[in-house]
Amino acid sequence: MSREIDVVIPTWNGRNLLERCLENLAEQSVGHRVIVVDNGSTDGTAALVRERFAAVEVVELERNYGFAGAVNRGVSHGESPGVVLVNNDVECDSAFLERLVEPLADERVGMVAGLLLRPGRAAIDSYGLECDATLAAYPRFEGAPYPATALHEEHLLGPSGGAAAYRREAFEAAGGLDERTFAYMEDVDLALRLRALGWAAAGASEATGVHLGSATIGRRSRAQVEVAGASRAYMLRKYGVLRRGLGTAAWALAFEAGVAAVETVAGRDLAAARGRFEGWRAAAGASASIPEGVVNRELGFRDGLRRRAATLH
């Protein structure tokens, strides 16, 4: 598996970030193929890649198709049994790819989560994703000290799209990423669909990299707030969260109303509400079920508020 890897990197006006990312990938301990999908950049991204990284394939798109659209097009240009997704703001250690695909040797495993660290490498950014009963998803071990924290895979839903490996067979069987989500939560959606198809998720704690964080669209920019809100509402409707009992519906509605209110006051605009309206409308006709055993029942309403509040500072 280690020498049969397609690395797909979606990018949009991230020339400087991408350059460092590709330099790291050129130093990997195993052979691989890199496919950069340029989402209609205007900063000379494609020219840079062709000039400096001759072995990297560039897929130039005429406009920004979002994360899901770019990834799907990149994956379709490859053919290797292992597909790795890397954000352009991730700096991979030299053994990242080798360690990340190792769990795919188990034929039951369809997806693998890598370990992302915060700049400085003293704290964990994420080790895959976990979700609560409303499908609000959170980075596992976020903020925990590294390397002192004992990592495990309990409650692992699936990988974050910024550092993920997928078995191509599984990725294609699930239909790839849902392009009705422009950005955010598409990795959660894919993990849910893969779990529904019977594929297991695994972790690769030795597949490490540094995540610079929200570098492409801007941390808590108004565009980020709107797009993230749209993806959240899309997931609520697609998976029928509001129909999963009065308690769960009340939890979801209260949480979303609170988040939207805070974002409205902070941004002095309706980006949060507008995004949620657009996402709910986009989910018309979409339907999927939540597989058994994927929800971390230990995550409650207060946990969600605490984790969400941490991102607002």
Domains and CATH numbers, the chain: 5-211 (3.90.550.10), 222-311 (no CATH)
Q: What's the CA angle centered on 203, arms 231 and 244, to 5 degrees?
A: 40
Confidence of residue 68 (pLDDT cuts 50, 70, 90): very high
Q: Is the pLDDT of residue 1 over 80?
A: no
**pLDDT reported for residue 217:** 46
- Per-residue pLDDT tens digits for 88-106: 999 999 999 999 999 999 9
- Per-residue pLDDT tens digits for 215-260: 444 456 889 999 999 999 999 999 999 999 999 999 999 999 999 9
Strands (DSSP E) found in 87-145 = 90-92, 109-117, 124-126, 129-131, 137-139
Q: Is the pLDDT of residue 267 over 60?
A: yes
- Mean pLDDT across 176-199: 97
**pLDDT reported for residue 125:** 97
Q: What is the mean pLDDT of the chain?
A: 94
Q: Report the share of the chain in percent with pLDDT over 70.
A: 96
Residue 12 CA to residue 9 CA, distance in Å, equals 10
Residue 182 CA to residue 185 CA, distance in Å, equals 9
- Per-residue pLDDT tens digits for 104-152: 999 999 999 999 999 999 999 999 999 999 999 999 999 999 999 999 9
**pLDDT reported for residue 216:** 47
**pLDDT reported for residue 219:** 57
Residue 236 CA to residue 279 CA, distance in Å, equals 9
Name 208's bridge partners: 115
- Mean pLDDT across 295-309: 87
